[in-house]
């Protein structure tokens, strides 16, 4: 959510930003918001004037009562009563207008950073850098579910019976490998100086509205029937929500946190051949990074965060690239975002395994997350980034470490989490 002062003083900047995001249908909302804001401010001013007049007349009533001028006192009381009715009516109208304005402000996209490439959708995202040499071996890399099947490592058919499509059982070494990756990611981030957190896996609706746009919520979130609770789609949701209505000490910033959680997503509108396996699922686990910092530090943290993900994947011998998200691919709250994509030797292309986002003060404004300075309270900036999200990362791991004999190598960094194994072999 943007600052209302931008609507008041620089509406053309807001409109130009909407055009850059190819959301021209939202352009009329800027003028509508401006009109509503003017009406609200006038009503506030009118009510303040009426309250001042009411106080003045109330004082007059006191004087009249002391002078035993009951007739004038009664007349003044009638005027005060009428003023009260007018104020009450104006306050009701004001509340209705404020609700309309809030709904519009939640819809108008955040101002994107000037470095964001302009493009309509993810097909126009821009590759920035590659890390590690993408290789294609001279032997065939099977589909990831076929690799897992050789190790008796999954059961998608049973999951379909218990839970439906988009779910899976991991078994044996595959389940252990999944947990090992998460454990390694946890320790990797702790060694980077991040504080480890396990947050709630359900949050209230007001927190959902604070951390994401309505469109995102509709496409992602599962709601608990009959309760004001939603299953989180990523731990960022409850991690940021933790600081709702909080004034932090400037000396405590930045807060650099790493969190583990299961994640639950509807994945509405997501289709493709990779759905046959565990690439796009309704339930998965994830290690996340979350930073709350001062505005002047947020872009520096943005660069730090995605580079940590690159370092993590390279420590497991997986080639990756950084892909800058274009304007049309940015969610409405984001100022700047990039994806980290892992190399798939089977598909001979990269695919998304993580996303890094700077949301500026959008979430902080919605949730009132501030920090105290000598010049008063300021809105903080929030950022989030994926460390690793099995099972998607598991696909990249299996493909890049798959050997001609059907075994899968375990990189040294992961071996201690796999009981000292240096490879997984097909059971005889």
pLDDT, one tens digit per residue, over 196-213 is: 999 999 999 999 999 987
Q: Is 115 inside any structural domain?
A: no
Q: Is 111 inside any structural domain?
A: no
pLDDT of amino acid 83: 93
Whether 359 and 411 share a structural domain: yes
3-state SS, residue 136: coil
Q: Is 329 inside any structural domain?
A: yes
Reported as a single tens digit per residue, the pLDDT across 2-46 is 999 999 999 999 999 999 999 999 999 999 999 999 999 999 999
Q: Residue 274: which pLDDT band, with cuts at 50, 70 and 90?
A: very low
Q: Residue 9, exposed/middle/buried by CB under 10 A (0-12, 13-18, 19+)?
A: exposed
Strands 369-373 and 376-379: antiparallel
Q: Residue 268: which pLDDT band, with cuts at 50, 70 and 90?
A: low
Predicted TM-score (pTM) of this structure: 0.90
**419 phi and psi angles, rounded to 5 deg:** 65, 25
Q: Is 196 inside any structural domain?
A: yes
Average pLDDT score over the chain: 93
pLDDT of amino acid 276: 62
Domain boundary pick from 48, 72, 105: 105
- Strand partners for 371: 248, 378
Domain count, the chain: 2
pLDDT of amino acid 174: 93
pLDDT of amino acid 183: 97
> Which DSSP string do the residues of 142-169 spell out, in sequence order?
--HHHHHHHTT-EEHHHHHHHT-TT--E
Q: What percent of the chain is predicted at pLDDT more than 70?
A: 97
Domain boundary pick from 73, 105, 137: 105
Whether 206 and 321 share a structural domain: yes
Q: Is 116 inside any structural domain?
A: no
pLDDT of amino acid 219: 78
Tokens of 256: 């650099």
Cβ atoms of 61 and 53 within 8 Å: the answer is: no
Reported as a single tens digit per residue, the pLDDT across 325-358 is 999 999 999 999 999 999 999 999 999 999 999 9
Whether 95 and 126 share a structural domain: no
Reported as a single tens digit per residue, the pLDDT across 32-90 is 999 999 999 999 999 999 999 999 999 998 999 899 888 998 899 999 999 999 999 99
Whether 13 and 135 share a structural domain: no
Question: Domain span at residue 358?
Answer: 122-424
Whether 234 and 260 share a structural domain: yes
Whether 334 and 403 share a structural domain: yes
Q: Is 398 inside any structural domain?
A: yes
pLDDT of amino acid 98: 96
CATH classification at residue 61? 1.10.287.40
pLDDT of amino acid 273: 38
Residue 312 above 50 pLDDT? yes
Measured torsion, CA atoms of residues 162, 163, 164, 169, in degrees rounded to the nearest 10: -80
């Amino acid at each position: 959510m943007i600052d209302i002062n931008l609507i008041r003083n620089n509406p053309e900047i807001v409109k130009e930003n909407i055009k850059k995001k190819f959301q021209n249908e939202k352009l009329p909302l800027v003028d509508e918001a401006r009109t509503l804001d003017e009406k609200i401010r006038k009503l506030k001013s009118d009510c303040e004037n009426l309250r001042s007049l009411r106080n003045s007349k109330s004082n007059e009533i006191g004087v009249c009562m002391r002078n035993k001028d009951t007739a004038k006192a009664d007349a003044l009381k009638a005027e005060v009563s009428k003023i009260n009715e007018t104020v009450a009516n104006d306050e009701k109208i004001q509340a209705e207008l404020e609700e309309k304005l809030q709904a519009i402000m939640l819809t108008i996209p955040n101002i994107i950073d000037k470095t964001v490439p302009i493009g309509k959708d993810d097909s126009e995202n821009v590759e920035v850098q590659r890390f590690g040499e993408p290789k294609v071996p001279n032997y065939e890399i099977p589909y990831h579910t076929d690799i897992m099947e050789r190790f008796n490592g999954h059961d998608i058919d049973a999951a379909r019976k218990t839970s439906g499509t988009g779910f899976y059982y991991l078994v044996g070494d595959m389940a252990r490998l999944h947990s090992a990756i998460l454990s390694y990611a946890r320790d990797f981030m702790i060694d980077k100086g991040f504080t480890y957190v396990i947050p709630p896996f359900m949050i209230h609706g007001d927190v959902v509205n604070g951390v994401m746009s309505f469109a995102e919520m509709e496409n992602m979130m599962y709601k608990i029937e009959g309760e004001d609770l939603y299953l989180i789609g990523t731990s960022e949701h409850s991690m940021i929500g933790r600081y709702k209505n909080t004034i932090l000490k400037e000396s405590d910033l930045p807060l650099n946190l790493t969190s583990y959680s299961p994640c639950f997503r509807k994945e509405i509108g997501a289709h493709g051949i990779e759905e046959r396996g565990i690439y796009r699922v309704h339930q998965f686990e994830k290690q996340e990074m979350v930073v709350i910092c001062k505005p002047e530090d947020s872009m520096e943290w943005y660069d730090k965060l995605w580079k940590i993900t690159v370092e993590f994947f390279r420590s497991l011998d997986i080639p990756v690239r950084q892909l800058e998200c274009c304007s049309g691919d940015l969610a409405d709250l984001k100022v700047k975002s990039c994806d980290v994509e892992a190399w798939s030797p089977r598909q001979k292309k990269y695919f998304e395994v993580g996303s890094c986002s700077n949301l500026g003060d959008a979430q902080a404004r919605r949730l009132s997350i501030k920090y105290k300075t000598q010049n008063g309270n300021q809105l903080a900036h929030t950022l989030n980034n994926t460390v690793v999200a099995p099972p998607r990362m598991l696909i990249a791991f299996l493909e890049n470490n798959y050997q001609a004999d059907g075994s899968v190598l375990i990189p040294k960094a992961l071996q201690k989490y796999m009981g000292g194994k240096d490879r997984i072999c097909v059971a005889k």
